[in-house]
């Protein structure tokens, strides 16, 4: 079915824009025992009752770090700012977003970002070598591509609204992890981590990324969608 | 700021539609110890580390039934259909939705629904007396307004795509709870429960309701937004 066909009104009929069939899900699935940040509590999905066991319904409980799978960080995660994820303005995650493909196989550098003419208020998703495989199905990879400290400072200087990355942290493992979080979150840039950009080329998209609204929390799991502009 | 002002491109500039400032959040916040379905595991938000205690970051873990706060039910919740929430088509939750205001203070009846000329494929959100107070901040209320069995059968007959309700279950407490779930979920109608419709009048809206993508699960917490058409 294509946009504009009778069952899919498309983005202009009646002025309505959402009912197209080109939304792509860029969230990774949450599954029991999946990769997490080392030391974080494991993901547990516990089936409390099950129709296949003769119960009246199937009912599951979820237990995990809020920084699991595709998720967002609030400023309170690494700063003394009290902004929890429930205080995030919807404008941070609903609107245009640009996917930038990063060539450097080690880190995202300020030099490489400079070539992309990033503008104030942009939502930037950074696709790296991490997206060459479905990292969410593998053990933790200490050598994921991360944001260099200089690149973090550059994004603050550019005054971006939101950044997204394709592994579990914006900062490097055993390196600048805390530093990069402090730089980005102190500037109240909203952070999406754990995206699946494996099927997403560079370019401009419309994005909706909605974290669940956990009261006064340092982060939350999120569902993220893109469609081409 | 109004749609169309320089900082808010509005829904037509460049053909882009999302960046308006009239999105309303109709999700209830998830908080430690909040009301749940009786017998479900409690909501626990555990602060594992805290900057205020001298830790390097603030990190929380979440533990709860997946049928907590604003959430969705998958067919596998009450039927032998194997459709988990991760199999939900995005069309179920991204597109137009109609808020219908229900007058009956006890249950949503087929008679009252018939007056609203519900059409095949509609996404219908049912605003009832439940929305007169912030139910998510109160103890469990056994007398919430629920979908009558006849109304459930009527919605299946109308072939709606998605329904949303403003309390924790589509069916009645101690009554037709299981029956209504089986009728609706067997028909593969997607179900949103636990909405906050207190600030939402009847009428047509655009909706984005995104559950987190829990692998093969009977439901998932969700974030839901509306804006007027």
Strands (E) across A50-159 are located at: 59-65, 71-73, 94-101, 107-108, 123-127, 146-147
Provide φ and ψ at B3, rounded to 5°.
-55, 135
Provide φ and ψ at B12, rounded to 5°.
-120, -25
The model's pTM is 0.93
- Token pair of A215 as six digits: 């009261």
Contacts of B57 in chain A (CB under 8 A): 77-78, 178, 181, 218
pLDDT at residue B126 in the model? 98
Provide φ and ψ at A159, rounded to 5°.
60, 45
The beta-carbon neighbor of A223 closest among B52, B212, B218 is B212
Asked if B177 has any chain A CB less than 8 Å from its own CB, the reply is no
Asked if B153 has any chain A CB less than 8 Å from its own CB, the reply is no
pLDDT per residue, tens digit, chain B (229 aa), is 333 333 444 444 344 478 888 999 999 999 999 999 999 999 999 999 999 999 999 999 999 999 999 999 999 999 999 889 999 999 999 999 999 999 999 999 999 999 999 999 999 999 999 999 999 999 999 999 999 999 999 999 999 999 999 999 999 999 999 999 999 999 999 999 999 999 999 999 999 999 999 999 999 999 999 999 8
Identify the CA nearest to B212 among candidates A39, A213, A167: A213
Range 74-103 of B in CB contact (< 8 A) with A: 76-80, 86, 90-91, 94-96
pLDDT at residue B180 in the model? 98
Asked if A5 has any chain B CB less than 8 Å from its own CB, the reply is no
Q: Judging by DSSP bridges, how do beta strands B59-65 and B107-108 pair with one another?
A: unpaired
Range 12-41 of A in CB contact (< 8 A) with B: 12, 14-19, 21, 23, 25, 27-32, 40-41
Strands (E) across B50-130 are located at: 59-65, 71-73, 94-101, 107-108, 123-127
Contact B78 A95 (CB under 8 A): no
Q: In this structure, is residue A94 part of a structural domain?
A: yes
A209: distance to nearest CA of chain B, Å?
8
Asked if B221 has any chain A CB less than 8 Å from its own CB, the reply is yes
Contact A30 B66 (CB under 8 A): no
Q: What share of chain A is helix, strand, coil (3-state, %, to 5)?
A: 20, 30, 50
ipTM rounded to 2 decimals: 0.93
Q: In this structure, is residue B36 part of a structural domain?
A: no
Contact B29 A215 (CB under 8 A): yes
Q: To which H or E segment does residue B220 belong?
A: strand B219-228
pLDDT at residue B195 in the model? 98
Residues 6+ positions from B203 with CB-CB distance below 8 Å: B98, B99, B228, B229
Q: In this structure, is residue B188 part of a structural domain?
A: yes
pLDDT at residue A132 in the model? 95
Domain count, chain A: 1
Q: In this structure, is residue A32 part of a structural domain?
A: no
pLDDT at residue B101 in the model? 98
Q: In this structure, is residue B64 part of a structural domain?
A: yes
pLDDT at residue B14 in the model? 40
Which 3 state secondary structure label does DSSP give B148?
coil
Asked if A1 has any chain B CB less than 8 Å from its own CB, the reply is no
Closest Cα in chain A to B28: A213
B163/B155 Cα distance (integer angstroms): 9
Q: In this structure, is residue B25 part of a structural domain?
A: no
**Residue written as tokens 């007058």?**
B103
The residue of A43, A159, A217 whose CB has the most chain B CBs within 10 angstroms, and thus the best one to mutate to test that interface, is A217
Contact A61 B64 (CB under 8 A): yes
CATH label of the domain that carries residue A199: 3.50.30.50
Which 3 state secondary structure label does DSSP give A8?
coil
Asked if B138 has any chain A CB less than 8 Å from its own CB, the reply is no
Q: In this structure, is residue A10 part of a structural domain?
A: no
Contacts of A14 in chain B (CB under 8 A): 229
Count interface pairs A-B at CB distance under 8 A: 213
The beta-carbon neighbor of A208 closest among B18, B25, B218 is B18
- Report how far apart the first and last C-alpha atoms of chain A are (Å, whole number): 18
Q: Do B224 and B207 touch, CB atoms closer than 8 A?
A: yes
Q: Do A216 and A71 touch, CB atoms closer than 8 A?
A: no
Identify the CA nearest to A116 among candidates A48, A23, A203: A203
Low-confidence ranges of chain A (pLDDT < 50): 1-16
B62/A185 Cα distance (integer angstroms): 22
Q: Do A166 and A197 touch, CB atoms closer than 8 A?
A: yes
Q: What is the residue range of A125's domain?
A: 44-228
Q: In this structure, is residue A114 part of a structural domain?
A: yes
């Amino acid at each position: 079915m294509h946009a504009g066909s009778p069952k899919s009104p498309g983005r202009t009929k009646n002025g309505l824009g959402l009912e197209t069939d080109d939304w792509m899900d860029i969230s990774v699935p949450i599954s029991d025992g999946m990769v997490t940040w080392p030391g974080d509590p494991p993901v547990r999905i516990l089936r409390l009752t099950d129709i296949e066991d003769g119960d009246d319904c199937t009912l599951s409980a979820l237990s995990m770090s809020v920084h699991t799978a595709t998720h967002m960080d609030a400023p309170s995660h690494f700063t003394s700012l009290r902004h929890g994820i429930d205080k995030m303005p919807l404008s941070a995650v609903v609107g245009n977003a640009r996917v930038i493909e990063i060539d450097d196989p080690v880190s995202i550098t300020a030099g490489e970002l400079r070539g992309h003419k990033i503008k104030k208020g942009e939502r930037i998703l950074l696709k790296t070598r991490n997206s060459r495989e479905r990292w969410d199905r593998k053990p933790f990879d200490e050598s994921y591509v991360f944001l260099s400290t200089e690149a973090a400072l550059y994004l603050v200087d550019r005054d971006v609204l939101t950044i997204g990355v394709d592994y579990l942290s914006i900062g490097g493992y055993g390196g600048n992890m805390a530093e990069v979080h402090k730089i980005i979150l102190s500037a109240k840039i909203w952070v999406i981590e754990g995206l699946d950009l494996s099927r997403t080329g560079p370019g401009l998209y419309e994005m909706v990324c909605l974290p669940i609204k956990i009261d006064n929390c340092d982060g939350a799991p999120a569902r993220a969608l893109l469609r081409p502009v």
